[in-house]
Structure 1
Amino acid sequence: MTRISILDHDRCQPKKCNYVCIDYCPGVRMGEDTITVDEKTKKPLISEELCSGCGICTKRCPFNAVSVINLPEALENPVHRYGQNLFELFGLPSVSEGDVVGLMGPNGIGKSTIIRILSGELKPNLGNFQDPPEWDEIISYFRGSELQNYFRNLSEGNVKVVHKPQMVDRIPRYVKGRVEDLLLSIGSERTDEVIEALEIGGIMKRDISNLSGGELQSVAIAAAALREADFYYFDEPTSWLDVRQRLNAVRVIRSLADAGKAVMVIEHDMAALDAMSDYVHILYGKPGGYGVVSNRRGVRVGINTYIKGFLREENVRFRREAIEFKVKPPRVSDEGDVLAEYSSMKKSYPEFSLEVDEGTIYFNEIITAFGPNGIGKTTFAKILAGVEKPDTGKVKKNIKISYKPQYLSSDYPGTVDELLYEKAPGYGSNIFKSEIMKPFNLEEILDKKVEELSGGELQRLAVAVTLSQEADLYVLDEPTAFLDVEQRLMAAKAIRRIVEGRNSSAMVIDHDIIFIDYVSDRAMVFSGKPGFNGHAGSPTELREAMNRFLMEVGITFRRDKETRRPRVNKINSFLDRKQKELGEYYYLKAE
């Protein structure tokens, strides 16, 4: 088997360990240069040619910074490697005119690297990072495939490419002025059509620096879709968006493919990916170590394959167990012991008001709350958590609450390990390791400084700390933001185990329909006029709540016959029309 060695530069701290990996390496002891020191970075350099794969350095490293990975025998030459002991990518997906191709896989597996390569921002080095090849060699490497012509045209400037980046919150750093100045300057004939489709007419006069995350995402999608290009790349286009906005984004992205353009998307919301894509590529490997691009599959088959965790054609199992979706029987509204009750409540601000219907929370249940952005969900969460006080009404029982806010702070001065020691009860115990540490994969970030964490890492840490508290009710505001599919479902399982194991309950606010379906016992719907007024209905049976919500949005879902996951029906399809006639927006009862 081919072997690669990976060094996590963020974790590696040679000043604290004095190069313990070098001291214990058998090769070094025999006089070989198996591990040396980089003169520039002062970090260890591991020779993959000389490394025997004994694994001693990985076990001795006190910061878990070293990984020695045995690659599958079928893997040969990489498409790109960032440097010695750094991430390696094998294979590239195919792009085709008139199709939307989706990329699925965990964070750190190479999806954004792929888009950077295909968009021309990163030149593939074919694994030769010391002496990168010229375009002629790259084009020759892909001979016999459609990528040969693609890279030839890309190198000659004969194709136009548009890339919607992942981190839209950074846009105000580089783009100044009002939204209308940005979009009108593109000069597209479709400007009014796209503005209407994304429902952003109301923010056209606003300054870009004053937009929320969801508004920035919609503007970024609009700016990308309005530019004239041959290939469009969208990196996580539904982050920050509510359900309605996600479906608006789906329609705009699909319209590009319908116009004959080639489109590629990275997306962690499986329902949105299913609705917008024609084909998908699954990426597997070891996050941060190496990534492999699978064969292209039809979108339904591809997502179902991902859920099962086994690539039949490649004979690769990348997950031990399949993800199981179950249709839960309706929970009777007055069933179980009452944990807490709240009366009808009102909360008013100068420009926004929220009304909340009375409700009951039972022991051992997970209630999800969903609705448009700017409708009062976060305000309701703050009232439950005691951060805000309602103008009228109250929570009737005095219960202990653990609260994770929507927007996370990374200003803690120390490491993740230090934060957990300070703020997570039971840190270091076997129960903490099994219930919190392992599900959220915190081992890999323990030595990182909190202020240096990525969005996904910070989210995992925040949810983990919230769930580690002894509480009667866990209030989690958008716990899936920045998480990949695996992490979202792992978080759902962890929330369920904590709730049932501690005889407590949870209130979860989120926009991912599949996550909501997976985790919910009951649900509550928020409606109204975003930014002006909101109304929170009482918690009710999930299917009833979904029917009410989806009727307002105007879409229908069905269940996949093979995996039971929710799937969006195409607008005006036979099943869409049938379900709307029956008033069954969230799958037919027979399913």
Structure 2
Amino acid sequence: MRLAIVHKDRCHAKKCGKECIAYCPRVRTGDETIIIGESGRAEISEELCVGCGICVKKCPFEALDIIQLPEELDTPVTRYGPNAFVLYGLPQPVAGKVTGMLGPNGIGKSTAVKILSGQMKPNLGIFDHEVEWAEILKHYAGTELLDYLKQVAAKTIKASIKPQYIDFIPKAFKGTVRSLLEQNDERKKLDYYAKELALDTILDKDLTYLSGGELQRVALTVALSKEANFYFLDEVTPFLDIYQRMTAARLIRELASEHPVILVEHDIAILDMVAETVHIGYGKPSAFGIISRPKGVRVGVNQYLEGFVAEENVRIRDYPVLFETRSHESDVDRETLMTIPKMTKSFPGFDLTVDGGEVRRGEVLGIVGANGIGKSTFAKLLAGVETPDGGKKFDTVRVSYKPQYVTADSSDSVEFTLRSATRRFDTSYYQHEILEPLGLMPILQSEVKNLSGGELQRVAIALCLSREADLYILDEPSAHLDVEQRLVTTKVIKRAAEDKGAGIMVIDHDMYTIDMISERLLVFDGVPGKEGTARGPFEMKDGMNMFLSNLGITFRRDKTGRPRINNPGSYLDREQKAAGEYYYYNAAESALAAEGSTEE
């Protein structure tokens, strides 16, 4: 089966020479394989298309995709229309379990949930007539989903959904946190969730003034508080620190003991901890998506990182995601770029102390710590946005700063925005090292205000790295990025540090991102919301041990090198704490070492 996809947000027929039509071999023979429809966009006949792919290569806006699918994918779950996204496969909600979904953005995870929650009826890829539920149920006869879809058809399913993007909540609901939570407290657990997620101090705060982390915890509380048959949670970790992520994971597992939960999450460490099974989503984002059959979470995550889904015999990526401890060690004798001065900064009720340190040329310095402990304030001090107490603004080196929360209210195109920040936009270096790996080429003509959260984040990263500076500071660049985008982003940032001979600081709560990107670590400790101290930089092992010991959390590495969270109180958790090894710990190596010492 051949799919012809036209990305409506990228097709700008009025701005191009209609190359797709001009170069199509079938059009040249007289067929109307490609036309400009009433919508002003290209329309492609899948029956007439021969799959040569010339139109795909000639389109200046990368708005077209011609895809040859495997023969066994003969019946889609649903399709949005001619030349539109198509989904194959659905996840299976399981009572008493958390079912994970892992895959790139735009692969159909939200579409699957709309179908499972009854918001959308699957059409089996049929457009010429409305598909009735009787026809849909007949198609799923004999499958595990049949009984569940019968309930969806009868409208007896009530779903509670925590959306991916939370910034619309203050626009949709005006009032305080307390009023929103009380309105949705159908399970009568407001007091419990408010205490567990530390919402007590913001209950009377207006939603408009919440930070991203506060808004994320409120959104999760609303979703967990509703009485429903099925809970769908889309990205619960952005803007939450590791301790808050662990709390959220525990609350989700508690809920799953009573109701089916499907969790879409790009923080693999948390997904690995909370889910029992996982569905892998693969395909081509915004073109087609395939949801795999359920797999054990360890097997599924490892297959996804390896890029090969064994049961389906499908390679979903040309390269594996690797975690190597030696990646934190540099053979280069790095020159000192700048000295971080000792500084203090006080606000009403909060004090920040910076012990000082040095930043080296060409290195990426990871910054970790709990929320509300002064990391963003520290970044603002270095960027000159804030002035330290008893001192002047930091101006020793040029600083480019990407803030934690990125807003989009500009009508300018992505290309105009980036061109205004750099004179190198048209160089091959900029195209190959910034635009292409960050996936910005297809959206260059899109207005910034119309971008999704993930697209906006990638533009903000590119904008920060485009400026001429000696020090680049990126505050939570992983938010709203999927696993593959995070991998690519870490490579872009590390190459930028080397190529520019600059120092780069990355503040993030995703342990995988920190693990892959950092050469050394700056650690913040203290009492969140009251006082914080910036210590270091340390070598990675020492820094992570300090950070995680403060939180009481241990990580191990499995045989693939992947960091995995130990369940609190488990044997490995207790063993590592006793050894003082909170992060770089390999159970197999430990066992061999113990065996060797016994033999001696």
Same fold (TM over 0.5): yes
Aligned mate of 2:513, from 512, 515, 522: 515
Aligned-pair Cα RMSD in Å = 2.2
Distance (whole Å) between structure 2 residues aligned to residue 517 and residue 455 of structure 1: 24
1:367 match: secondary structure: strand
What's the CA shift for 1:380?
A: 0.8
Per the alignment, do residues 184 and 53 of structure 1 end up closer, same or farther by CA in structure 2, a change over 3 Å counting? Answer: same
Distance (whole Å) between structure 1 residues aligned to residue 217 and residue 45 of structure 2: 46
1:582 and 2:587 aligned: no
- The corresponding residue for 1:6 is 5
2:168 match: secondary structure: helix
| TM-score, with length taken from structure 2 | 0.93
Distance (whole Å) between structure 2 residues aligned to residue 310 and residue 149 of structure 1: 31
Distance (whole Å) between structure 1 residues aligned to residue 317 and residue 195 of structure 2: 42
Cα offsets for 1:522-566 (capped at 9, x unmatched): 1112223333332212211222222222222222111112x2111
- The corresponding residue for 1:532 is 530
Maintained 8 Å contact 1:366/1:506: yes
Per the alignment, do residues 336 and 61 of structure 1 end up closer, same or farther by CA in structure 2, a change over 3 Å counting? Answer: closer
Cα offsets for 1:193-240 (capped at 9, x unmatched): 222222222222223333222112111211211222221110111122
Cα offsets for 1:38-74 (capped at 9, x unmatched): 33x2322211111122223223333222221212223
Per the alignment, do residues 20 and 338 of structure 1 end up closer, same or farther by CA in structure 2, a change over 3 Å counting? Answer: closer
1:537 match: secondary structure: strand
Cα offsets for 1:309-333 (capped at 9, x unmatched): 011221111111111101138769x
- The corresponding residue for 1:240 is 239
Per the alignment, do residues 184 and 421 of structure 1 end up closer, same or farther by CA in structure 2, a change over 3 Å counting? Answer: closer
1:113 alignment partner AA: T
Per the alignment, do residues 330 and 170 of structure 1 end up closer, same or farther by CA in structure 2, a change over 3 Å counting? Answer: closer
What's the CA shift for 1:184?
A: 3.3
Please give the residue correspondences for 1:97-496 in structure 2 after superposition, counting only pairs within 5 Å.
97-185=95-183, 186-257=185-256, 259-328=257-326, 336-392=334-390, 398-496=396-494
Distance (whole Å) between structure 1 residues aligned to residue 182 and residue 554 of structure 2: 34
Maintained 8 Å contact 2:78/2:122: yes
1:498 alignment partner AA: A
Further displaced range: 47-56 or 318-327: 47-56
What's the CA shift for 1:394?
A: 7.1
- The corresponding residue for 1:55 is 53
2:142 alignment partner AA: G
2:512 match: secondary structure: helix
What's the CA shift for 1:470?
A: 3.8
Cα offsets for 1:481-514 (capped at 9, x unmatched): 1111101111111111121233222111111011
Per the alignment, do residues 279 and 28 of structure 1 end up closer, same or farther by CA in structure 2, a change over 3 Å counting? Answer: same
2:175 match: secondary structure: coil
Per the alignment, do residues 394 and 273 of structure 1 end up closer, same or farther by CA in structure 2, a change over 3 Å counting? Answer: farther
Maintained 8 Å contact 1:336/1:363: yes
Maintained 8 Å contact 1:342/1:393: no
Per the alignment, do residues 424 and 230 of structure 1 end up closer, same or farther by CA in structure 2, a change over 3 Å counting? Answer: same
1:361 match: secondary structure: strand
- The corresponding residue for 2:37 is 38
Per the alignment, do residues 396 and 452 of structure 1 end up closer, same or farther by CA in structure 2, a change over 3 Å counting? Answer: closer
Maintained 8 Å contact 1:101/1:277: yes
| Percent identity over paired residues | 48
Distance (whole Å) between structure 2 residues aligned to residue 411 and residue 165 of structure 1: 21
Distance (whole Å) between structure 1 residues aligned to residue 61 and residue 436 of structure 2: 17
Maintained 8 Å contact 2:418/2:466: no
Maintained 8 Å contact 2:386/2:393: no
1:76 and 2:74 aligned: yes
Maintained 8 Å contact 1:345/1:390: yes
Aligned mate of 2:64, from 63, 66, 69: 66
Maintained 8 Å contact 1:281/1:296: yes
Maintained 8 Å contact 2:335/2:361: yes
Distance (whole Å) between structure 2 residues aligned to residue 130 and residue 370 of structure 1: 55
1:133 alignment partner AA: V
2:10 alignment partner AA: R
2:247 alignment partner AA: N
What's the CA shift for 1:109?
A: 0.9
Further displaced range: 568-577 or 124-133: 124-133
What's the CA shift for 1:253?
A: 0.7
Maintained 8 Å contact 1:89/1:110: yes
Cα offsets for 1:382-431 (capped at 9, x unmatched): 11122222124679883232222222243444322222333233222222
Maintained 8 Å contact 2:384/2:393: no
Distance (whole Å) between structure 1 residues aligned to residue 443 and residue 394 of structure 2: 40
Cα offsets for 1:421-465 (capped at 9, x unmatched): 332332222222222122112211122122221111121122123
Per the alignment, do residues 18 and 366 of structure 1 end up closer, same or farther by CA in structure 2, a change over 3 Å counting? Answer: closer
Maintained 8 Å contact 2:381/2:394: no
Query: What is the aligned length?
Result: 586
Cα offsets for 1:155-179 (capped at 9, x unmatched): 2133332111112211122223332
1:109 match: secondary structure: coil
Cα offsets for 1:11-46 (capped at 9, x unmatched): 21222336443344333343333223433x232221
Maintained 8 Å contact 2:118/2:155: no
What's the CA shift for 1:271?
A: 0.8
Per the alignment, do residues 407 and 82 of structure 1 end up closer, same or farther by CA in structure 2, a change over 3 Å counting? Answer: same
Per the alignment, do residues 366 and 61 of structure 1 end up closer, same or farther by CA in structure 2, a change over 3 Å counting? Answer: closer
Distance (whole Å) between structure 2 residues aligned to residue 421 and residue 202 of structure 1: 43
Further displaced range: 461-470 or 549-558: 461-470
Further displaced range: 275-284 or 383-392: 383-392
2:231 alignment partner AA: Y
1:556 and 2:554 aligned: yes
2:293 match: secondary structure: strand
Maintained 8 Å contact 2:362/2:498: yes
Per the alignment, do residues 99 and 187 of structure 1 end up closer, same or farther by CA in structure 2, a change over 3 Å counting? Answer: closer
What's the CA shift for 1:519?
A: 0.8
Further displaced range: 351-360 or 267-276: 351-360
Distance (whole Å) between structure 2 residues aligned to residue 254 and residue 182 of structure 1: 24
- The corresponding residue for 2:594 is none
Maintained 8 Å contact 2:212/2:239: yes
Maintained 8 Å contact 1:341/1:397: no
Per the alignment, do residues 201 and 411 of structure 1 end up closer, same or farther by CA in structure 2, a change over 3 Å counting? Answer: closer
Unpaired runs of at least 5, structure 2 = 591-600
Aligned mate of 1:567, from 551, 555, 564: 564
Distance (whole Å) between structure 2 residues aligned to residue 569 and residue 16 of structure 1: 54
What's the CA shift for 1:262?
A: 0.9
Distance (whole Å) between structure 1 residues aligned to residue 235 and residue 276 of structure 2: 17
Further displaced range: 183-192 or 504-513: 183-192
